[in-house]
Every structure is written in structure tokens, then in C-alpha cells.
Homo-oligomer: A and B are copies of this chain.
Amino acid sequence: MTPISASLSTPYWRIGLDLMGSDTSPDSLLNAVLDGKTAFLPFQITCFVQKKFYPACRALLKKSASKNIFLKSCSHYISQEDDPLKALVEKEDSTTRVGVFMLKNQELDAFISLGSTGALIGASTLFLKKIPLIKRPMLVAKLPSKKGSIYISDVGGNASPRTSNIVQSAFLAAAYASYDNPEKKIRLGLLNIGSEGHKGSPFHRDAFIEIKAIFKDNEKVEFVGNVEPNVAFSGKVDALASDGVTGNIFLKTAEGMSDFIFDVISATKDGKSRCVSSELTSMFDYSEYPGAIVGGVEELVIKCHGYSTSKSIGHTLFKAKELLQGQFINKYKKMILNWKV
């Protein structure tokens, strides 16, 4: 993860950006990247596109006279309809696979994907070094809460969770919260359908017992037990462990509800502009949030929203820079290994 020009006063981070597989065409996404380019100065951004989109993207790039954005053309990409693991095997020259390999080979410092979550997590799991203890890497997201932020893992939609995955999600969420709040004792909860210890699936009940034992008398993390989604934003909890389905439903419902409320507010006769400040609107605009990290691998991999705008790509790139500068991966790994029982 050494920047290519460490001799420059500003580190020059090499970021891979997979523009394939989202709801938006890669040239529109490239436009979004170019729109915000001034914000990205300390980056060398390699944009991954499928061959057939290369000419259009090339023309856009030429017109922009951008110096720090490059294109990488691949034969394939992995779509939302593909079986991720099968596609990773069959589509060797696909944007996600090539990007993750470049990260593995130290040709990139971070890789950001706007496409298939399954393919990104699959490629990270198969090809990158994993943090010991984490068997199955997963998505860790940071969301707003009444008193700052809440960190939640797994939000990636792993549809067959085991107890061990849920326990590992506790490590990954708590470590991200702790990285951002080094002075704070992190209150970690288990996202569940009820607050009582016996609630949820057998996996949840077993994970509850294991997580409680692991963080007993821990100086940095306090396990507060099961947390229901209606109190998750209250500020009473900083990090949430969950299985992939529960976390994914939680994240997407929060996004949908926020979108719904601000849509209704903006349609009222006063109008959003006078009624609710743009600052407030941004706070709940999920497209302005940086993407979720793939927790559990020893490289920086980020999943950006599929419907990303220049704002959300910009925020994600900015977050990548912050995490690289802060040596996130090293600190994150160290914390998790410390908690190992």
C-alpha cells in the first residue's frame, strides 16, 4: 500500500474504480467522476470499464483533459444477474476480478466498486489476504444516528449466515466504530427482532452468548445485548452486529424511509428549500454517504451505491483517502486480533 510517489509532499493514492454493473451507464458514471475531479487531486484513478464502453469513455476523458484519471478496458463484467462465484471463475477478464487482482499485486492502494456486491465480496474473499479470525469478509456500513454515527455489519446480504459470521460481524462493526472514535468505549449491540436475550434464530441466540463472553470486561467495547431496529438510531448504541440479511434489510429500509420522508416534505406547499435546510437533507441522503467497506480483508475495498452520483462517488473517494492516510487497515486488523479469544 505504498503510494507510487511517496517523495511528493502530497501522497498520491492509486484508486481503482469499477464503473460496471450498476444501474447507471459507465460513461455517465465517468462523467460524474470528471465532474468532481478537483476534489480528487491526490488520486490516480483507474476506471474499469467493459470493452464496448471504452470508446465512449475514452472520448469523454480526452475532452476533459484530465491528468489523473485513466481507463482500464476488460472483456467482461459481472452483472447483478450473474451467480457471483461462477462468474468470477468464468469471466477471468472481468472488471471486478482484474481490479481486485491489481489490489492484491500492490498496483492499487484501494478498490471501489459500483457493481455486484456478491462479486466484490467473492473476489475479495478468494483473492485477498484475510485478517486472521475473519473467515468470511462482509460489508460494514457507517450510518447517521442521533448522536453521531452507527456502524453496522454485515449489510451485504449473505443469505445463509452462521453463528460464526454473526460473531465476526461484531468484531468488524466494533473495530470500525473504535477506529473512528478511539477515545470512546464502544457500545456494541446485536441487531435483532426483540431486546430479550432469547430472541431471534438459533444462530442469533448462540452469537449473543459468544459475543457476550468475548467482550466481558473489555476496556474498549461493551456488549449491550440485543438491539431492535427502532432504537438503533437513538444514539444508545455505536456498533451493530447482524447477519447479512437482517443488516441488508435494515440498511435499505432506512434508506427507503429517509427518501420517502424527504420526498413528501419537498412536495408540501412550503417546499423543501424553505422548510428543511440542505444540511439536514444531506444528513439523511444515503447517496451522499461513502460506501460500505469490505471488512475482514487486508486491503481497502469499498462498495459504492449502485445508483451513485458524482456526490456519492466523491464522498467515497474522499473516505478512501482518509482511510488510507489514517492507516485504517493496519489499525483495524490490530484491534480485531486483540479481541481474539
Q: Of residues 63 to 87 in A, which have CB atoms within 8 Å of B's CB atoms?
A: 80-81, 83
Contacts of A81 in B (CB 8 A): 196
Bound state CA distance, A81 and B254, in angstroms? 28
Q: Shortest CB–CB separation between residue A81 and chain B, in angstroms?
A: 6
A232 at the interface (CB under 8 A from B): yes
User: Are A146 and B264 in touch, CB under 8 angstroms?
Assistant: yes
Q: Quick one: copies of this chain in the complex?
A: 2
A230 at the interface (CB under 8 A from B): yes
Given B146, B253, B283, which contacts A230 in the complex, CB threshold below 8 Å?
B253
Known: A157-B193, A260-B233. A280 touches B252 (CB 8 A): no
Q: Of residues 239 to 291 in A, which have CB atoms within 8 Å of B's CB atoms?
A: 244-246, 248-250, 252-261, 263-265, 268, 270, 275-277, 280, 283-284
Known: A157-B193, A193-B157, A245-B193. A253 touches B277 (CB 8 A): no
Known: A159-B193, A230-B255, A254-B256. 5 other contacts (CB 8 A): A193-B249, A201-B245, A234-B260, A245-B246, A257-B257
Bound state CA distance, A297 and B172, in angstroms? 43
A58 at the interface (CB under 8 A from B): no
Known: A145-B260, A159-B199, A248-B193. A276 touches B277 (CB 8 A): no
User: Are B229 and A253 in touch, CB under 8 angstroms?
Assistant: yes
A107 at the interface (CB under 8 A from B): no
Bound state CA distance, A257 and B232, in angstroms? 9
Q: Shortest CB–CB separation between residue A280 and chain B, in angstroms?
A: 6
A231 at the interface (CB under 8 A from B): yes
Bound state CA distance, A148 and B16, in angstroms? 43
Bound state CA distance, A280 and B270, in angstroms? 12
Contacts of A246 in B (CB 8 A): 245-246, 249
Given B80, B194, B252, which contacts A229 in the complex, CB threshold below 8 Å?
B252
Contacts of A234 in B (CB 8 A): 256, 260
